[in-house]
Amino acid sequence: MISQPHISQIKDFLETAQNILVLVDSNAEIDVLAASSALFLSLEMSGKNVVFASPNPLVNFNKNLAGLDKVQTEISNKNLIVGFDYDEAAVEKVSYHIGEKTNRFYLTVQPKKGYKPLNKDSVEVGYVGAEADLIFVVGVHNYESLEHLYIGNEQFFTNTTVVSINNFDAQVGDIRLNTSKNINISSAVTELVRQANLEIPEGAATNLLLSIETTTDNFKSLSITPELLEAAAWLMRKGARRIRQDKTNTRSKPAEVAKMKSKSKVVELN
HSE value, Cβ hemisphere, 13 Å, CA-based, for 75: 30
The stretch 3-20 carries a mean pLDDT of 93
Residues 6+ away with beta carbon under 8 Å from 44 = 50
Task: Evaluate whether 139 touches 36 at the Cβ level (below 8 Å).
Answer: yes
Q: What is the mean pLDDT of residues 144-158?
A: 93
Mean pLDDT computed over 135-153? 94
Per DSSP, which regions of the chain are E strands?
19-24, 49-53, 76-83, 91-98, 105-111, 124-130, 134-138, 161-166, 175-178
* CATH class name, domain 4-75+129-237: alpha beta
Q: What is the pLDDT of residue 129?
A: 61
Where along the chain do its domains lie?
4-75+129-237, 85-122
pTM equals 0.76
Q: In sequence order, which residues have a C-beta less than 8 Å from that of residue 94 and are 6 or more positions away?
A: 107, 108, 109, 110
For 60-109, what is each residue's pLDDT tens digit?
A: 999 999 999 999 999 976 667 778 888 888 888 898 888 877 888 888 99
Please write the tens of the pLDDT for every residue from 123-133: 877 665 678 99
Query: How far is it, in rounded angstroms, from Cα 213 to Cα 227?
Result: 14
Looking at the predicted structure, is the pLDDT value of residue 256 above 90? Answer: no
- What count of residues does the chain have? 270
pLDDT above 70 (res 169): yes
Query: Mean pLDDT across the stretch 210-233?
Result: 95
pLDDT tier for residue 253 given thresholds of 50, 70 and 90: very low
pLDDT the model gives residue 23: 98
